[in-house]
């Protein structure tokens, strides 16, 4: 992000999940839980909580039905789905649910297919505050069959459009040591492309050289490509040189309204079948928009814990904003600010090709996880 881009954020950027703490006062500000990831890890199931600072966790098992409970003290959920919700499991975990408890405790409950035990745990430290547990069934079990989800889009190669911010005469943010946003994000985009292609994705870039591309052309390109996912890569700058970390943005409600207005003015027709009735059409556009916003938030929720493994995160990441490039009503889209060029440490990280490669790999893993679980992080309510 830079000054040029900020002017597009006038519809308001709202941080999600920053509700004030009530009840017991803590000396430290609460940790934000930005992601819950449940993955198959061979013989075990790995549950990872992405946190922005280390926190105390207490775990216990419950029986009839079997459950595994993680209570994180002095924490709050800052997930795209809101302060409480649920998501699908993997292996011995059928699904997970999360909700705040009294006294600032945030609780994640994993509904288990069978009694299980912890086989490995990692409690986060200063560098990476993530908490993770591997749990395995105590005995072989037969998983409950899950209903088959009807895929919205036909199977086949997924199309990913990667958008390297700025370019050409627009350098974007400039680092304290002179690093230019347009250069590092282009390299990051190329790295991401190289990480995605061997995984079988069809990848297109809004730019693959140092050229200037209008914002609306980036959006139009994603729509013309019928992209399944649009990832815009940026690097941030802040007047506060202490500010560090990556963050992930999706379209905010006010931004979504703008998308509807823009669609009307630019004649962007959604493929809505034979509906001619204009009221019905409005409703369908609204539903398509809502679905796109949900899918964008789902990707954000998957990519945040992945990024947390390779880079610091801004507090309350997954903000929703009205960034112009996120406005396509039918393409799930996120904007990833990979760090702050205005911070010397972040700039060193962003200027390091290996660090960019690690970040690209983390994003590619998130893309895999996102498409592997079409119903992931279903609506919280
Ligand atoms: Zn930017």
Are 129 and 171 within one domain?
no
Are 87 and 181 within one domain?
no
pLDDT bin (cut points 50, 70, 90) of residue 150 is very low
Domain count, the chain: 2
Q: Is 95 domain-assigned?
A: yes
356 C-alpha to center of ligand 1: Å? 16
Residue of 251, 264, 211, 234 lying closest to 340 (CA atoms): 234
Residue of 337, 346, 28 lying closest to 188 (CA atoms): 337
Are 169 and 207 within one domain?
yes
**pLDDT for 61-115, tens place per residue?**
888 889 999 999 999 888 766 777 777 788 899 888 888 888 889 999 999 999 9
Rounded alpha-carbon distances, angstroms, from residue 253 to 13, 280, 286, 326: 10, 21, 12, 12
Structure tokens at 285: 């556009």
CATH assignment of the domain containing 225: 3.40.630.40
pLDDT bin (cut points 50, 70, 90) of residue 140 is confident
Q: Is 148 domain-assigned?
A: no
Mean pLDDT of 351-362: 96
Are 54 and 186 within one domain?
no
380 C-alpha to center of ligand 1: Å? 31
Pick the range with the lowest mean pLDDT from 36-50, 191-205, 299-313. Answer: 36-50
Q: Is 210 domain-assigned?
A: yes
> What is the DSSP code (8-state) at residue 150?
P
Are 242 and 196 within one domain?
yes
**pLDDT value of residue 22:** 35
**pLDDT value of residue 23:** 37
Percent of the chain past pLDDT 90, that is, above it, reads 38
List Cβ<8 Å contacts ≥24 apart for 256-260: 256/289, 256/293, 256/329, 257/11, 258/11, 258/322, 258/327, 259/289, 259/327, 259/328, 259/329, 260/285, 260/286, 260/289, 260/329
258 C-alpha to center of ligand 1: Å? 20
**pLDDT for 223-282, tens place per residue?**
899 999 999 999 999 889 999 999 998 886 565 665 656 555 555 544 444 444 455 555
**pLDDT for 10-60, tens place per residue?**
222 222 222 233 334 446 788 888 778 788 877 888 888 888 788 888 888
Higher pLDDT: 196 or 381? It is 196
Mean pLDDT of 134-154: 66
Final residue of a domain: which of 90, 109, 137?
Answer: 137
Q: Is 17 domain-assigned?
A: no
Higher pLDDT: 381 or 81? It is 81
pLDDT, mean over the chain: 79
The answer on pLDDT for 311 being more than 80 is yes
Q: Is 12 domain-assigned?
A: no
pLDDT bin (cut points 50, 70, 90) of residue 320 is low
280 C-alpha to center of ligand 1: Å? 38
272 C-alpha to center of ligand 1: Å? 33
Q: By the 8 A CB rule, do 228 and 257 touch? A: no
Pick the range with the lowest mean pLDDT from 96-100, 175-179, 335-339. Answer: 96-100
85 C-alpha to center of ligand 1: Å? 32
Beta strands at 159-164 and 116-122: parallel, antiparallel or unpaired: unpaired
The span from the CA of 76 to the CA of 106, in Å, is 6
The span from the CA of 91 to the CA of 81, in Å, is 23
Residue of 198, 180, 193, 222 lying closest to 342 (CA atoms): 180
Are 186 and 108 within one domain?
no
Final residue of a domain: which of 137, 171, 199?
Answer: 137
CATH assignment of the domain containing 97: 2.60.40.3500
171 C-alpha to center of ligand 1: Å? 9
Are 105 and 178 within one domain?
no
Are 258 and 349 within one domain?
yes
Q: Angle 253-266/278-308 helices, nearest 10 degrees?
A: 130
246 C-alpha to center of ligand 1: Å? 12
Pick the range with the lowest mean pLDDT from 215-229, 267-281, 367-381. Answer: 267-281
373 C-alpha to center of ligand 1: Å? 30
Q: Is 199 domain-assigned?
A: yes
pLDDT bin (cut points 50, 70, 90) of residue 1 is very low
**pLDDT value of residue 290:** 74
Are 168 and 295 within one domain?
yes
The answer on pLDDT for 179 being more than 80 is yes
379 C-alpha to center of ligand 1: Å? 30
182 C-alpha to center of ligand 1: Å? 8
Rounded alpha-carbon distances, angstroms, from residue 292 to 144, 228, 303, 348: 29, 10, 16, 35
Percent of the chain past pLDDT 70, that is, above it, reads 74
Whether this prediction's pTM lies above 0.85 is answered by no
172 C-alpha to center of ligand 1: Å? 5
Residues, Cβ < 5 Å to ion ligand 1: 1, 5, 165, 172, 234
**pLDDT value of residue 317:** 64
The span from the CA of 269 to the CA of 284, in Å, is 12
The answer on pLDDT for 309 being more than 80 is yes
Winning range, highest mean pLDDT, from 59-68, 327-336, 348-357: 348-357
**pLDDT value of residue 326:** 84
Residue of 78, 220, 72 lying closest to 133 (CA atoms): 72
Pick the range with the lowest mean pLDDT from 32-46, 192-206, 333-347. Answer: 32-46
Are 45 and 179 within one domain?
no
72 C-alpha to center of ligand 1: Å? 34
206 C-alpha to center of ligand 1: Å? 14
Q: Is 147 domain-assigned?
A: no
Mean pLDDT of 362-381: 69
**pLDDT value of residue 91:** 87
166 C-alpha to center of ligand 1: Å? 6
185 C-alpha to center of ligand 1: Å? 8
Are 173 and 321 within one domain?
yes
Q: Is 168 domain-assigned?
A: yes
Structure tokens at 53: 């600072």
Final residue of a domain: which of 85, 108, 137?
Answer: 137
Distant-in-sequence, close-in-space partners of 268: CB < 8 Å, separation ≥ 6? 223, 262, 329
The span from the CA of 56 to the CA of 58, in Å, is 7
Phi and psi at 101, nearest 5°, equal -115, -175
Are 190 and 84 within one domain?
no
181 C-alpha to center of ligand 1: Å? 7
Domain ranges, residue 69: 31-137
pLDDT bin (cut points 50, 70, 90) of residue 171 is very high
């Amino acid at each position: 992000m830079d000054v040029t881009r900020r002017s597009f954020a006038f519809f308001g950027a709202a941080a999600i999940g920053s509700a004030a703490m009530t009840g017991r006062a803590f000396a430290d500000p609460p940790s934000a839980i930005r992601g819950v990831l449940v993955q198959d890890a061979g013989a075990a199931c790995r549950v990872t909580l992405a946190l922005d600072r280390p926190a105390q966790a207490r775990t216990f098992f419950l029986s009839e039905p079997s459950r595994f409970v993680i209570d994180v003290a002095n924490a709050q959920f800052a997930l795209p789905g809101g302060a409480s919700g649920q998501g699908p499991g993997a292996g011995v975990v059928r699904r997970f649910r999360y909700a705040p408890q009294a006294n600032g405790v945030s609780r994640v409950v994993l509904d288990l297919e069978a009694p299980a035990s912890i086989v490995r745990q990692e409690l986060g430290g200063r560098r990476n505050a993530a908490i993770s547990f591997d749990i395995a069934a105590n005995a072989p079990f037969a998983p409950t069959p899950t209903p088959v989800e009807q895929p919205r889009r036909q199977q086949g190669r997924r199309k990913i459009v990667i958008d390297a911010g700025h370019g050409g005469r627009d350098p974007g943010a400039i680092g304290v040591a002179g690093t230019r946003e347009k250069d590092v994000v282009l390299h990051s985009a190329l790295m991401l492309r190289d990480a995605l292609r061997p995984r079988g994705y069809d990848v297109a870039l809004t730019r693959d050289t140092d050229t200037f591309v209008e914002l609306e052309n980036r959006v139009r390109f994603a729509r013309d490509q019928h992209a399944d996912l649009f990832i815009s890569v940026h690097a941030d700058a802040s007047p506060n040189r202490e500010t560090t970390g990556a963050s992930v943005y999706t379209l905010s409600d006010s931004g979504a309204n703008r998308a509807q207005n823009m669609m009307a003015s630019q004649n962007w027709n959604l493929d809505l079948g034979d509906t001619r009735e204009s009221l019905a059409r409005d409703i369908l556009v609204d539903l398509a928009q809502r679905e796109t916003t949900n899918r964008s938030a789902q990707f954000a929720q998957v990519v945040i814990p992945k990024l947390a493994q390779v880079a610091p995160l801004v507090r309350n990441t997954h903000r929703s904003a009205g960034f112009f490039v996120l406005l396509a009503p039918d393409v799930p889209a996120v904007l990833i600010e990979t760090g702050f060029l205005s911070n010397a440490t972040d700039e060193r990280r962003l200027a390091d090709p290996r660090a960019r490669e690690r970040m690209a790999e983390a994003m590619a893993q998130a893309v895999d996880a996102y498409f592997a679980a079409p119903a992931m992080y279903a609506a919280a309510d």
